Amino acid sequence: MNRLKVNLKNCYGIQSLEYEFDFSIGDPNRQKAKAYAIYAPNGLMKSSFARTFDVLSKGESPKEERYNRKTACVVEIDGMAIQKENIYVLKAEIDINTDSPAITNILVNPENKAKYDDLLIELDKLKNKLIGSLQKSSKVKKGDIEKTILNNWLETSFPACIEKIKKISIEDDLSLYEYAIIFDPKVIEILKSQEFIDKASEFNKRYQELFNQIGTIYQKGVFNPSKAEASFGTLGKQGFFTAGHRVHFRGEPASIDKAELEQKLQVIHASIDGDETLKKLRNSLAQNAQTQALTDLIEKLSPSQIEFLLEKLKPENQNQFRKDLWVYYIKENTDATAYLEAYNTSKNEIESIEAAAAQATPRWTKAIELFNDRFVDMPFTLSVYNQTQVALGKENAKLKFTFKDGPDIVECSRSEIKTLSQGEKRALYLLNFIFEVESRRINNQETLFIFDDVADSFDYKNKHAIVQYLKDLTNTSYFQGIILTHNYDFFRTLANIFVHRDRCLMANRSINAVLLTKAEGVNNYFIGKWKDNVANNDIILCATIPFTRNLIEYTKGEQDTDYVKLTSLLHWKNDTEQITVGNYLEIYNRLFGAGHITSNAKLVKTLLLDKADEVCNRSVQDGLNLEDKVLLSIAIRMQAEIFLINKIRTLKNDSTYWSQSENQFGCLMKEYTLLDPTAIELRTLEKVSITVNSNIHLNSFMYEPILDLNIEHLVKLYREVCNLV
């Protein structure tokens, strides 16, 4: 990819943008990184540009959502329409809930995975068929079959366990015994009780007699004590007996009421309920559906089968009975035979691939180490739980977070992370991106990366880590990057470290289009743009006033006469109307050892306001706009102070009033608020206080805040203040 042509019309917030990005490396001896950096204030184009490419990466078409205007989008690489697979967008918003598929993709050896899949597909089909047949015999849930068998046999390999079971023979007929009924957890609670251990045989003998004694109401396999209790209990709860109804039993001469029913049941149950232990055991076996199912099973068995079951259910025999049941279910199972034959045929190759996957140096190591090494002061380090399974493509990678604070160490998964800061969340978000990059690098995939404010929420150390990673990324021959930012400090860092100055662009807005122009003075704006243009550019001349004043303050102090005079150019003082451009250049020459002509008699205040009007009337704001923003900030405060002083003079009836405070604007605001606390102009003046005061205290180390301020906001505020005056 050498040339990227972009022509957008009504793509989300972009009315029009046309530019051709040249990613060719240029002179082999002075190669340019294959990256562009675009400085764009918030609300101008960044999110719309990134969103347009994000939509293209999904194979969809961008649109204009607000006004329903017709959209046109041409994005071509070397004359051909860009393909969705060649686009990756790292968005400004943070999303750490979804792992990138690349986290798995970079761990998969495609050749091994193809072989492994071929071996496992048929094997999994046979295994599922076996589990289905075992479910029918045992009534254990399909999802629990494998785990249950392995637990009972203390094994870890399902095929090895089935093979072990197949070698064991058993003579007993266990066809009537269902594992899920006998070893249900609620049944087990009864089986291990002392009542069952001591009285099981006696209870069974007396329980069986309930069906045969004279006057019984029970029928074996049809209506037993548990069902009777449930039926009569429901009748009682529903008011059957209270309403005067009676029950009539088959073979009885007359119906009976509730009291007579209870008396009849007491007689039938006397052989059991006369013994408190047996009564407790009967109640336990009737307390829920699971224990009643065991009772139903016992009813179906012959006396010898019941005796056999009760023997097997003794605590010392239960583990062996579990195994015996699986042996019986599996011994004649043709599905088990087919599964084992298939497994033994492919076993060696499966184990060989798994061993290679476990021993090979995983590709994710580079990405994980890169993250751990570059993102400093994170509260966690990263690793992967399931390296072997991921390397085979059997599972998605599961990231493990290790938090350490002194001797305390905590490990958790991504889903458990709930306490990270925004910067830490963004670092984690970038981890997905690192995996994606490594995946595309492995596949030699030509890719255009779009970065939307990638450095937001990071401290300086981690911003530097991001810049270094972006530099490494664009050194890959088939990767290109467009880095969008509203942070001038980050923009300048990109330019100083790896993005060529020819590829550092500024986004500007005309009446109905976004324009991209080459950035000026990125390295040192004062030297690169202002120093040689003080005498021939009136806007730059005015903008240098706070810079010059600050240097005098640092070198000579606030009592210096030049410092005092320059203060009168930044505030409306009694001598402001007397200071000419020539007077300012005399001070400038003394400070910097310059030789500019000082005969210009035009008042600085007049020049300042004239140029402010000129800036406001432009249809297009060009370049960084630093000098324009500084000039407007000075002019806004100057106009605001003119308004305030004239208002205070009127309210005080004192035409000679001037502020004597060092913090002039603040004191003027305070005094005017006391004199006229309901003045509607205060709202505009408060905007001035919030927006421009700090911008006027300018130096070469801290001018990013004013750069990041939208000039359109300053234009609007200047016009608003002028309307006050």
Distances in Å between the alpha carbon of 634 and those of 576, 611, 627, 637, 691? 13, 11, 11, 5, 11
Claim to verify: residue 187 and residue 46 sit in the same structural domain? no
Residue 150 falls inside a structural domain:
yes
Residues 576 and 707 in one domain: yes
Residues 510 and 610 both lie in one domain: no
- What's residue 269's pLDDT? 74
- CB of 326 within 8 A of CB of 152? yes
Q: Assess if residue 683 is contained within a domain.
A: yes
Q: Is the pLDDT of residue 78 over 90?
A: yes
Is the domain of 187 the same as that of 85? no
**What pLDDT score was predicted for residue 605?**
97
d(CA 87, CA 546): 45
**pLDDT, position 526:** 79
Q: How many CB atoms are closer than 10 A to CB 609?
A: 21
In this predicted model, what pLDDT tens digit does every residue of 627-678 receive, in sequence order? Answer: 999 999 999 999 999 999 999 999 999 999 999 888 899 999 999 999 999 9
Q: Are residues 563 and 658 in the same domain?
A: yes
**pLDDT over threshold 90, residue 49:** yes
Same domain, 554 and 569: yes
600 and 458 housed in the same domain: no
- The amino acid sitting at 593 is G
In a domain, 29, yes or no: yes
Q: Higher confidence at residue 209 or residue 641?
A: 641
What's the pLDDT at 102?
A: 63
Q: Report pLDDT digits (tens) over 165-189.
A: 989 988 888 888 888 888 887 777 7
User: Residue 361: pLDDT above 50?
Assistant: no
When mean pLDDT is compared across 106-115, 139-148, 616-625, 655-664, the lowest value belongs to: 106-115
pLDDT exceeds 90 at position 74: yes
In a domain, 544, yes or no: yes
**Cα radius of gyration rounded to whole Å, the chain:** 43
Query: Which whole number is the average pLDDT over 683-701?
Result: 76
Q: Is pLDDT of 60 > 90?
A: yes
687 in any annotated domain: yes
pLDDT at 235 over 60: yes
Residue type, position 268, single letter? I
- H/E stretch holding 283 reads helix 276-285
Q: Give the sheet arrangement for strand 408-413, strand by strand.
A: 380-384, 399-405, 408-413
Q: Which of the two residues, 467 and 112, has the higher pLDDT score?
A: 467
Report the pLDDT value the prediction gives residue 209, as an integer from 0 to 100. 63
Q: Is a pLDDT exceeding 80 seen at residue 606?
A: yes
Q: What average pLDDT score do residues 522-532 get?
A: 79
Q: What is the dihedral of CA 106, 110, 116, 122, to 10 degrees?
A: 110
For residues 505 and 643, state if they share a domain: no
Once rounded to an integer, what is the mean pLDDT over residues 127-131? 92
Same structural domain, 601 and 691: yes
Q: What is the mean pLDDT of residues 60-64?
A: 91
* Residue 698 and residue 595 share a domain: yes
Give residue 352's pLDDT band: very low, low, confident or very high (50, 70, 90): confident
Residue 174 is predicted with a pLDDT of: 86
pTM of the model: 0.60
How large a percentage of the chain has pLDDT more than 70? Answer: 81
DSSP string across 328-387: HHHHT-HHHHHHHHHHHHHHHHHHHHHHHHHHS--THHHHHHHHHHHSTT-SEEEEES-H
| Segment 388-399, tens digit of pLDDT | 777 676 766 677
What is the per-residue pLDDT for 382? 80
In a domain, 133, yes or no: yes
In this prediction, residue 700 has a pLDDT band, given cuts at 50, 70 and 90, of: very low
Averaged pLDDT for residues 22-27: 83
pLDDT tier for residue 215 given thresholds of 50, 70 and 90: confident
CA–CA separation, 517 vs 502, rounded Å? Answer: 10
Produce one character per residue of 93-114: b if its CB has 16 or more CB atoms within 10 Å, e if not: ebebeebbebbbbbbbbeebbe
φ, ψ of residue 518 in degrees (nearest 5): -65, 135
Question: Tokens standing for 544?
Answer: 């240098």
pLDDT score for 92: 77
Per-residue pLDDT, 262? 80
* Dist. CA 124–CA 468, nearest whole Å: 46
HEC states along 72-95? EEEEEECCEECCHHHEEEECCCCC
Q: Are strands 447-452 and 87-90 parallel, antiparallel or unpaired?
A: parallel
> Are 698 and 608 in the same domain?
yes
Same domain, 531 and 507: no
Domain range for 498: 3-106+419-518
Q: Distance between CA atoms of 188 and 518, rounded to whole angstroms?
A: 79
CATH of the domain at 49: 3.40.50.300
Q: In this structure, is residue 553 part of a structural domain?
A: yes
**Looking at per-residue confidence, does 340 or 311 come out higher?**
340
Q: What is the pLDDT of residue 280?
A: 65
Question: 533: buried, middle or exposed (CB in 10 Å: 19+, 13-18, 0-12)?
Answer: middle
Q: What is the band of 701 on the pLDDT scale with cuts at 50, 70, 90? A: very low
Assess whether pLDDT exceeds 90 at residue 205.
no
Total domains in the chain come to: 4
Query: For residues 9 and 102, which has the higher predicted lDDT (pLDDT)?
Result: 9
**Beta strand 35-39 pairing with 479-485:** parallel
Pick the last residue of a domain from 493, 518, 543: 518
What φ, ψ does residue 22 adopt, rounded to 5°? -100, 105
Banded pLDDT at 571 (limits 50, 70, 90): very high
Question: Mean pLDDT: which of 399-403, 474-478, 607-611 is highest?
Answer: 607-611
Using the 3D structure, point to which of 453, 485, 518 is the last residue of a domain. Answer: 518
549 domain residue, yes or no: yes
Q: What percent of the chain has pLDDT over 90?
A: 38
Average pLDDT, the chain: 83
Q: Give Cα 486 distance to the centre of its chain.
A: 22
Structure tokens at 128: 């599922």
- Can you tell me the distance from the alpha carbon of 434 to that of 491, in angstroms, rounded to the nearest whole number? 21
